[in-house]
Every structure is written in C-alpha cells, then in structure tokens.
Amino acid sequence: MSESPPPAYQDLPSVSALLESAPSAALLRRWGHQLTKDALQTVLGAARSTMASGVPAPTAIALLAAADAHLEQRTARGPRPVLNLSGTLLHTNLGRAPLSPAAMAAVAAAAGPVDLEFDLRSGKRGQRDAASEALLCALTGAEAAAIVNNNAAAVLLVLNTFGLGQEVIVSRGELVEIGGSFRIPDIMARAGARLREVGTTNRTHLRDYADALGSDTGLLMKVHPSNYALVGYTSEVSLAALAQLGKAQGIPTAYDLGAGSLLDLRRYNLPEEPRPQDALKAGIDVVTFSADKLLGGPQAGLLVGSRKAITALRKNPLYRALRVDKLRLAALRETLVQWDRPEPEKHLPTLAYLLRPRRELSALAEALLDPVQERLGDGWAVRVVPLESQVGSGAQPATRLESAGLALRPTQGGPGAALEGLAAALRALPLPVLGRIADGALLLDLRTLDAPETLLKTLAELPRTEP
C-alpha cells in the first residue's frame, strides 16, 4: 500500500478570506460578524481533522453552509416546545406546570412596558406583586403574602430572615433532599442559620422541640417530605401543636409545604395534599410553596402568612435579590384568578391532567391506534395499553394515576437498539415527542395530550425507518 499524500491544508481558505468572500454576505446578515467568525473557526477545525484522514478540502461554499448549520443547531437549544408524553405531569426537566391559555396571553401582554411598580390611580410608586398578594390572601386566608423566584428561594429567605446567626429547630425526619440539589441542611447553612436537629428519623414529639428551645432559637420549622413517605412506626408533631409552642414562646414558625394545591384533592378521590390555608389556620406564621407544581402556574415561590412575618421577609435585603419578574407575575395573577372560578379544572391544564379518567384516555388511545400504526409502518406494532402516570416534582410520590396510552414495539428482533432509535427519532422531530421506554416498549402516555391532531401532525414528519 502506498502512503497517502499529506493533507493539503493550504487548500482551506482562511477565516478572513471566507468572511470577505461574496457568498458570506447572507450568513453575516443572518448571524452577524462575531457569531459567523466563531462558527467558521469551528467548521475549519472540523475540516482539518477530517482532512487528516484523507478527505479532500471542502469548498468555500460547503464551509459557509456548514457554519450556517452549526449556528442553527447551537442556537436552536433553549426553551423550545416539546410534547410531554412521559407520564409525568409536572416534569421538572420539561418545565413543570404548563400554563393555561389565559396565563400565556397575560405573559405576552406584559412583555412591553407595564405598571409593574407604578400605581396608576395615585401616579405614585406601587408594589410589584400587589395583585398576586391580594389574590393569595383571599384564597388562603393569609394576612399578607410575598412572591420570590422559586420555593427554594422562599425557604432561603425565611431561614435567613428568622434564623441568621441563630438556631432553627427541625425534626430529623424532615431533613430532606428534594430534586438532588435542594437539601434543607445545605440551604440552612447558606442562609446563615444553625440547624438544630431534634427527634429521630421516624419519630419526633412536641417535647423534642420544647427541650431544644433556648435563648438563641430563631425559628421552629416543619418541612413536608414531598418526594418520600414515612410509613410504619412513625410520629410527627402536628402543625397546630408546633404553632402553639411557637406562640407560647414568642418564636416564629414556618412550614415548607412544597407542592401547594389550593383545593382539597380528596374531593377528586386523590390522596390528601396539605393546603396552605390549612397550615395558616393551624397558626403557622409563614408557609412556603411552589407556584409551578400543583398550583399550575409559572416558576415562583409563594410565601403566605401573618402580616408581621411577611413584613419582616420583605425588609430583608435578600428579598430584592430573589424577586420575580413581570412576566411571571402576569402568569401567576391569571393562574390564581382561575383557582377561584367554578370548575377550575376547565381552566388549569395541570388540574385537568390530574383529573382525567382512564376511560377518556383509553378512548383517546383507541382513536390514535390506527393512524399512529399507519405513520410508523410495518416495522412497529402499536397497541393500546393501560399505564400509570405520576404527578412528579416531588408531589404525591406514592400516587399512581390510572392512565392509558400507546406501546410501540418493533415487530422483528429484540427491542433494545430499535427502541432507542425510535426514541431518538421522536426527539428529533420539529415538535419533539417524549415518551418513556419500559417493558420492552416505547410508551406514550396520553394523559398530557390535549388534542390527537397535535400528535398525528407531528408524527407525519417522522422519516420512515425500519427497526
């Protein structure tokens, strides 16, 4: 075998030659100088490495096209719509709660100049979250409320406001980790508070809190364990008992509730979920919860409680660093209004998805069966299957919602690589479709599908592949 000639790198144009060439004008108009230059450097680097394995130098036109494609791909990232058929309603990786159409419209309407911190009646400065505060108070019975970036921020603000340089008493059974990066002891340390653990993992009594009280106690705190459940020989102190202890000793009490449904979910035959209004009624001074879990709103942390507690939170300089922007306030206001309307599940997608009965989803699956089979071709067997969806985001971890959907299996060979291939092809669609692989099939859970046409129109773009 003869040696191949060394790569002719001198045939590659330079970045500046490419930038000055006439055909680059379209690229520069589209992306600007900095991005184009950066992309050309990348594609020239890639060309050099393929030339090292004997491929001839690409033409200038090919390099410009590659730079365009590179920029297209790099900037295509970032929140883009997907079809969540994963069976997890509130999927943190997929942006949690979908907003209602009214909340979406409110976001768009708030994009320009708004009366964010301006009172149109008096012409004076106003409070940015006044509307949502009024709604939260009316819906939960709180004296006052405040809104911050997310629930982690709400907890940080509470701990820093009442626990800075002091002790915060928490039960050992409630020192939880939520979603990997949110751990109560870590947040506590960053908030400048000292953790005082009381009780044991499975049992904590009121006397454990009472015995730990001292001159440097700043706060008594309870945390809803959210994504795990204590069963068996367990005991925890009720909110009312803790609130009473706090009041008797003049120590504020806080409850990190997590998911925050405003309705009693037992009304819909779902397990009980603690509600902020119940915690306030029990006498807790400040309750924190997420706006984008069961509440079905935008990402935000909601703090409801006594006027005294909320005033103290608002005075903390950290509040300014954790505050929420006008777009999310617009969405939150709309979401809260919908909770009080008759049949809120007609307005709030999260609630609607939570309550969809299996028979409705089975009917949807039956209607989709033939057209989806037709779109996928002979290489795939499509079946209607009963499924179980979950709430997600740490809410109701033990709840399984009876659901239905489609199972896609290759007609020949083992499922392994074929399933991964189909999953990748579905992710590559203009509206990426996200199912889950389980039981040797790609499962599409229809609980969160609004209209069958959405899925069919999307699948029409699927290139025919044999498994």
Ligand X SMILES: *Cc1c(COP(=O)(O)O)cnc(C)c1O
Residues lying near ligand X in the complex (CB under 6 A): 150-152, 155, 178, 182, 223-224, 226, 256, 258-259, 290, 301, 393-394
Our CB check for ligand X shows the closer of 150 and 448 to be 150
Our CB check for ligand X shows the closer of 324 and 455 to be 324
Enumerate the H helices of 356-461 as residue ranges: 358-376, 416-427, 452-459
Burial class (CB in 10 A: 0-12, 13-18, 19+), 393: buried
Our CB check for ligand X shows the closer of 187 and 387 to be 187
Our CB check for ligand X shows the closer of 224 and 356 to be 224
Phi, psi for residue 288 in degrees, rounded to 5: -120, 140
How far the first Cα of the chain sits from its last, in Å, is 39
Distance of closest approach, residue 127 Cβ to ligand X, in angstroms: 22
Distance of closest approach, residue 155 Cβ to ligand X, in angstroms: 6
Q: Which two tokens stand for residue 94?
A: 């997929």
Distance of closest approach, residue 229 Cβ to ligand X, in angstroms: 13
Q: Which two tokens stand for residue 104?
A: 């979406």
Distance of closest approach, residue 153 Cβ to ligand X, in angstroms: 7
Distance of closest approach, residue 327 Cβ to ligand X, in angstroms: 17
Our CB check for ligand X shows the closer of 167 and 273 to be 273
Distance of closest approach, residue 450 Cβ to ligand X, in angstroms: 25
Task: Identify whether the C-beta of residue 155 lies closer than 8 Å to the C-beta of residue 187.
Answer: yes
Give which of 317, 298, 309, 336 is closest to 130, Cα–Cα. 336
Distance of closest approach, residue 204 Cβ to ligand X, in angstroms: 17
Q: Which two tokens stand for residue 401?
A: 């919602």
Handedness of CA 121, 123, 124, 127 (dihedral sign): positive
Task: Identify whether the C-beta of residue 335 lies closer than 8 Å to the C-beta of residue 297.
Answer: yes
Q: Which two tokens stand for residue 368?
A: 């989709």
The per-residue b/e assignment along 376-388, b for 16 or more CB within 10 angstroms, e otherwise, is: beeebebebbebe
Beta-strand pair 253-258/217-223: parallel
Our CB check for ligand X shows the closer of 296 and 405 to be 296
Our CB check for ligand X shows the closer of 291 and 368 to be 291
Residue nearest to ligand X (CB): 258
Our CB check for ligand X shows the closer of 209 and 255 to be 255
DSSP sequence for 189-248: HHTT-EEEEES-SSB--HHHHHHH--TTEEEEEEE--TT----SS-B---HHHHHHHHHH
Distance of closest approach, residue 83 Cβ to ligand X, in angstroms: 23
Our CB check for ligand X shows the closer of 151 and 448 to be 151
Distance of closest approach, residue 289 Cβ to ligand X, in angstroms: 8
